[in-house]
Amino acid sequence: MIKPYGSDKLKPLIVDNEKLLAEKLKEAEGLPSIIINSAAAANAVMMGAGYFTPLDGFMNKDETLSVAENLKLPNGLFWPVPIVNMAKNESLTDEIRKAKRIALLDPNVPGNPVIAIQEVDSIDKLDPDFFLHILERIYKTADFEHPGVFNFLSSGCNLISGKIEVLNYSYFQAEFPDTFRTAVEIRDLINQNKWEKIVAFQTRNPMHRAHEELCKMALKMVKADGVLIHMLLGKLKKGDIPADVRNRSIRKMVELYFPKDTVLVTGYGFDMLYAGPREALLHALFRQNAGCTHLIIGRDHAGVGDYYGAFDAQTIFDEIPKNALDIQIFRGDHTVWCKKCEEVVMMRDCPHDREDYLLLSGTKVRNMLAHGEPLPPEFSRPEVAEILSGYYKSELDQ
C-alpha cells in the first residue's frame, strides 16, 4: 500500500488509551481553557485521525507565512494550507497568555467539552497586511464574500501554536457512526479488502449521474481495485446540502448502481475551506495518508463562485515538485449526458456539440427539487432525486 505522507507510518494524535485518556481529561480540568472556532476543532479532528500526518500540532506565524508563500514549512516539508488555531482578542485571558498548556473546548458540541490539550509555544498576533497577504496566497482573493475568506477573517487575529493531544473526534463519531472513519481505519479497510490500487472521490455534494460515471471511469481507466467515496462531514456554506442527506443519497446510489464490493463510503471530519487549487492539494495529501493511490480531480474542484478557473485545481499539480506527493491525480473533464452518445461522457472525449448535452445548473436543480419536479433520469438516479426532493420539501414546509 502507498506510504503515508512524510512518514513511514501514520501519526494519529488521538489519545486512545483509556487510562491515559482519563489522566488527560483530569489534567484538562485544571488547565486554562478556551472555546476554539469550528475550523480549529476540525483541524484537531484531522490531526487526531491521522489525516494530517506528519504534523504534530498547530502552526505559528512563520510557518503559516512559509506555507502560504512557498507551499512548504520552514523545514522544507511540502504543505499546501496553514493548519492553525486562531483566537479572538477577547478569548485570550491573562491565564491563557501565561499558560504552557491549555485545554481546547469544542464549539460544536453542547456543553463545550474538551477536544484537545495544546502546548503553547507562542501566541502571534497577525496585523491586517499580513492577513491580506496570506489570504491572497491561499484563496487567491481577500474578498469577504468568499466563504473561506469570511471564515478565516472571522476566526480572530491571534495564532496559538504548539503540539496537541486530541481527546475525541468531536460530534463526528456520534452523528455519523457508520460513515466517519479515521485514516487508520480506512487503511485497515483497504487491507481487509486486499486492494492495492484505490481511487478516492472527494465530495461535499450529493452525487448525480456525472459523479457516478466519473468514479466508474476512473476505476476502469487506472485499473483500480476499488473506489473510496470520501465525503466531507463538517461545516459548509449556507445553501449546501447537509451531510446526513448527502450520506443517505450516496449510500443509496452505491447500493443500487455500483458493482458489489467495489466502493467504500466513508467521511471525514473537516470544515470546507473552498480554497480551490490549494484545497485540492490538501485533499490529495490526506487521501495519500488514508492509503489511496489516486484522487479524482474534476472541474472546479473545491471551488466556489467564479474565484478559480475551471481546471486550476488540476494545473496546480503541475506546479509543485514532482516528488511532493506519491498519490497520482486522475483528471476529470466536465462530465455530462450526451443525447447522441446516449451515455454520460467527458466533454473532451466526445465529438458532439454543446447543444447535444444535458446541462443543468446547480440553481436550476435546486429549484426543481424545491418545487417537487422530477430531475431527468439522465442527470440523477431517481432514488437519489427522491431523497433530495424530500429534503428540499421539508425545508420549504418549515
Q: What is the CATH number of the domain that holds 351?
A: 3.40.50.620
Q: Report the alpha-carbon distance of residue 32 to residue 36 in Å, rounded.
A: 13
Within this chain, do residues 180 and 247 fall inside the same structural domain, yes or no? yes
Would you call 331 a catalytic residue per the annotation?
Answer: no
pLDDT digits (tens, 9 = 90+) for 313-323: 999 999 999 99
CB 110 within 8 A of CB 101: no
Domain presence at residue 11: no
* Active-site pick, 181, 204, 278, 299: 204
Would you call 251 a catalytic residue per the annotation?
Answer: no
- Among residues 62, 43, 40, which one has the least CA distance to residue 52? 43
Residue matched to cell numbers 466526445: 350
Please tell me the predicted confidence (pLDDT) of residue 223: 97
Domain presence at residue 7: no
- Among residues 252, 254, 234, which one has the least CA distance to residue 242? 234
Domain boundary among 170, 198, 232: 170
Residue matched to cell numbers 460513515: 179
Domain boundary among 142, 170, 198: 170
CA distances from 15 to 43, 160, 182, 350 (A): 16, 21, 13, 51
Within this chain, do residues 243 and 308 fall inside the same structural domain, yes or no? yes
Please tell me the predicted confidence (pLDDT) of residue 396: 63
Residue 314 bridge partners (DSSP)? none
Please tell me the predicted confidence (pLDDT) of residue 234: 95
Domain presence at residue 6: no
- Percent of residues, the chain, with pLDDT higher than 90: 82
What sections of 113-180 are H helices per DSSP? 128-139, 147-153, 172-175
Domain presence at residue 216: yes
Q: Report the alpha-carbon distance of residue 263 to residue 258 in Å, rounded.
A: 8
Within this chain, do residues 291 and 391 fall inside the same structural domain, yes or no? yes
- Among residues 328, 299, 296, which one has the least CA distance to residue 311? 299
Within this chain, do residues 213 and 158 fall inside the same structural domain, yes or no? no
Within this chain, do residues 259 and 355 fall inside the same structural domain, yes or no? yes
Within this chain, do residues 158 and 199 fall inside the same structural domain, yes or no? no
Average pLDDT over residues 278-305: 96
Within this chain, do residues 156 and 195 fall inside the same structural domain, yes or no? no
* Active-site pick, 205, 251, 331, 366: 205
Q: Report the alpha-carbon distance of residue 229 to residue 166 in Å, rounded.
A: 26
Name residue 30's amino acid. Answer: G
Within this chain, do residues 310 and 369 fall inside the same structural domain, yes or no? yes
Residue 227 bridge partners (DSSP)? 199, 263
Name residue 341's amino acid. Answer: C
Within this chain, do residues 184 and 155 fall inside the same structural domain, yes or no? no
Q: Report the alpha-carbon distance of residue 217 to residue 381 in Å, rounded.
A: 17
Give the domain range for residue 165: 18-170
Within this chain, do residues 154 and 132 fall inside the same structural domain, yes or no? yes
Domain presence at residue 320: yes
Within this chain, do residues 64 and 193 fall inside the same structural domain, yes or no? no
Q: What is the CATH number of the domain that holds 136?
A: 3.10.400.10
Q: Report the alpha-carbon distance of residue 219 to residue 391 in Å, rounded.
A: 31
Say whether pLDDT at 190 is over 90.
yes
Domain boundary among 170, 204, 235: 170
Within this chain, do residues 134 and 180 fall inside the same structural domain, yes or no? no
pLDDT digits (tens, 9 = 90+) for 209-266: 989 999 999 999 999 999 999 999 999 888 788 999 999 999 999 999 999 999 999 9
Domain presence at residue 13: no
Domain presence at residue 142: yes
Say whether pLDDT at 161 is over 90.
yes
Which residues, including other chains, have CB under 8 Å from residue 292's CB and lie 6 or more apart? 2, 198, 199, 200, 228, 327
Number of domains in the chain: 2
The pTM for the full model equals 0.95
Average pLDDT over residues 188-216: 94
Domain presence at residue 116: yes
Instruction: Calculate ∠ Cα 180-231-312, nearest 5°.
Output: 145
